[in-house]
């Protein structure tokens, strides 16, 4: 009994000692080292002998050259934010048709659309016989429809980056064969054998994608699905910026005209034969009451800022290049714009392309 009491006393004393130590050190402050890197010295680069491979000791975080950096000015005014795309905030699934072709357009990146499409086919009991994520190809097995018992049908999905920012286009190709002779068919036709069946299945898939709002998975295999983006703002060092569109001229023109009706642009005149569009641009914020955020911000605008909000006229040229269609913007008289201003206006056009 005495031994147990001594043991208990020893434990209590040990606990009390530990608590006293913690209590004494509770006011100790640990120095914040998060900003120590600001005071670090630059060390010389490691020199690798000429007969050795220096790949492993290269720059891990290479700082790219910033195009159109311009000359630093003595004064600086905070610019207004770039106007967002008109279809940025809500998911949009729609069927588009142009020049005899039909496709599903969705304002989500291919890496997100690919797993959603696969999940839809799996839940619907549609078998898949081939999946090629890097090339954006997905092929179904043979299907039979109640309204066509004599034939079997299968579909090929081609998923590619869309014209819009972080968008996807899904095009279907339909193929049919007489029931019982499916194995005799091999290659896919260039165009669907039945336009009605293609249209019918396209609508089914589009409705399923529009209803599948809870899917948010992303496929790592499909991050570069279907190749590079079709549209890009090019900013050369010694030339004025322009938009490069990997589309046919007719569709590029239609897409640009649709974009120029949004984002502050308004079309004054157009001539498709010459590829010229005269536009007005007004980036004035929406008129708001003084009690709103825009009203409060407007109090800080100077008279010079107000003059910048006036409507300005420009000329947009859609030009068929050697490989792609180019979209350029100039003054009404053809005079080149300041590169920074041209890049800003082109990015507004780019944001609303579809």
Residues 283 and 328 both lie in one domain: yes
Angle in degrees, CA 56, 58, 63, rounded to 5:
145
SS3 content of the chain, % helix, strand, coil (to 5): 30, 25, 45
Domain, as residue range, for 204: 93-211
Residues 185 and 235 both lie in one domain: no
Q: Please check whether residue 65 lies inside any domain of the structure.
A: no
Treating both helix axes as pointing N-terminal to C-terminal, what angle do 195-211 and 110-123 enclose, rounded to 10 degrees?
Answer: 100
CATH number of 186's domain: 3.30.530.50
pLDDT at 214 over 60: no
pLDDT tens digits, 47-65: 888 888 777 776 667 676 6
Q: What confidence category does residue 83 fall into, taking pLDDT thresholds of 50, 70 and 90?
A: low
Q: Please check whether residue 309 lies inside any domain of the structure.
A: yes
Residues 171 and 281 both lie in one domain: no
Q: Please check whether residue 42 lies inside any domain of the structure.
A: no
The residue that leads in pLDDT, 60 or 212, is 212
Contact in structure between 154 and 139 (CB atoms under 8 Å): yes
What does the pLDDT read at residue 154? 93
Residues 344 and 252 both lie in one domain: yes
Residues 277 and 199 both lie in one domain: no
The Cα 88–Cα 287 span in angstroms is 22
Contact in structure between 80 and 285 (CB atoms under 8 Å): yes
What does the pLDDT read at residue 77? 58
pLDDT at 291 over 60: no
Report the number of distinct structural domains present in the chain. Answer: 2
pLDDT at 195 over 90: yes
What does the pLDDT read at residue 33? 82
Q: Which whole number is the average pLDDT over 317-328?
A: 93
CATH number of 256's domain: 3.30.310.170
Residues 203 and 286 both lie in one domain: no
Q: Please check whether residue 67 lies inside any domain of the structure.
A: no
Residues 192 and 244 both lie in one domain: no
Residues 193 and 115 both lie in one domain: yes
Q: Which whole number is the average pLDDT over 92-104?
A: 90
Q: Please check whether residue 226 lies inside any domain of the structure.
A: no
**Among candidate residues 145, 178, 211, the one where a domain is terminated:** 211
The Cα 163–Cα 107 span in angstroms is 10
Q: Please check whether residue 127 lies inside any domain of the structure.
A: yes
Q: Please check whether residue 66 lies inside any domain of the structure.
A: no
The Cα 50–Cα 38 span in angstroms is 33
Residues 175 and 244 both lie in one domain: no
Please give the mean pLDDT across all residues of the chain: 79
Give me 99's structure tokens: 């020049």
What does the pLDDT read at residue 299? 47
Residues 201 and 239 both lie in one domain: no
What does the pLDDT read at residue 61? 72
Q: Pick the closest to residue 205 from 166, 168, 179 (CA basis).
A: 168
The Cα 310–Cα 315 span in angstroms is 17
pLDDT tens digits, 238-281: 788 999 999 999 999 999 999 998 878 999 999 999 999 999 99
Contact in structure between 139 and 128 (CB atoms under 8 Å): yes
Residues 337 and 241 both lie in one domain: yes
Residues 236 and 340 both lie in one domain: yes
pLDDT tens digits, 296-305: 444 444 444 4
Q: In this structure, is the dihedral angle defined by the CA atoms of residues 138, 144, 145 and 151, taken in order, positive or negative?
A: positive
Q: Please check whether residue 286 lies inside any domain of the structure.
A: yes
- State the Cα torsion 184-190-195-197 to the nearest 10°: 40
What does the pLDDT read at residue 1? 56
**Among candidate residues 181, 211, 241, the one where a domain is terminated:** 211
């Amino acid at each position: 009994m005495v031994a147990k009491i001594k043991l208990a006393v020893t434990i209590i004393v040990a606990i009390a000692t530990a608590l006293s130590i913690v209590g004494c050190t509770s006011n100790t402050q640990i120095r914040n080292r998060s900003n120590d890197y600001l005071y670090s010295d630059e060390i010389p680069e490691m020199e690798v002998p000429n007969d050795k491979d220096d790949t492993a000791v290269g720059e891990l975080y290479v700082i790219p050259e910033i195009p159109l950096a311009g000359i630093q000015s003595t004064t600086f005014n905070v610019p207004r934010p770039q106007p967002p795309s008109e279809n940025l905030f809500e998911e949009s699934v729609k069927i588009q048709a142009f020049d005899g072709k039909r496709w599903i357009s969705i304002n989500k990146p291919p890496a997100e659309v690919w797993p959603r499409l696969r999940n839809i086919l799996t839940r619907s009991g549609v078998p898949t016989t081939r999946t090629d994520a890097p090339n954006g190809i997905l092929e179904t097995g043979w299907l039979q429809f109640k309204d066509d018992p004599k034939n079997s049908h299968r579909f090929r999905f081609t998923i590619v980056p869309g014209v819009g920012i972080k968008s996807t286009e899904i095009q279907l190709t339909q193929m049919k064969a007489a029931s019982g002779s499916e194995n005799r068919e091999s290659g896919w036709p260039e165009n669907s054998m039945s336009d009605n069946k293609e249209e019918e299945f396209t609508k089914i898939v589009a409705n399923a994608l529009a209803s599948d709002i809870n899917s948010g998975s992303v496929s790592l295999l499909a991050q570069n699905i279907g190749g590079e983006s079709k549209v890009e703002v090019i900013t050369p060092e010694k030339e004025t910026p322009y938009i490069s569109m990997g589309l046919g001229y007719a569709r590029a023109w239609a897409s640009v005209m649709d974009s120029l009706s949004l984002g502050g642009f308004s079309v004054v005149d157009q001539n498709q034969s010459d590829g010229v569009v005269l536009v007005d641009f007004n980036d004035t914020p929406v008129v708001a009451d003084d009690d709103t955020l825009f009203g409060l911000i407007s109090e800080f605008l100077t008279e010079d800022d107000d003059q910048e909000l006036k409507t300005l006229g420009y000329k947009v040229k859609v030009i068929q290049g050697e490989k792609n269609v180019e979209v350029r913007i100039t003054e009404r008289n053809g005079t080149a714009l300041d590169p920074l201003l041209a890049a800003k206006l082109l990015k507004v056009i780019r944001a609303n392309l579809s």
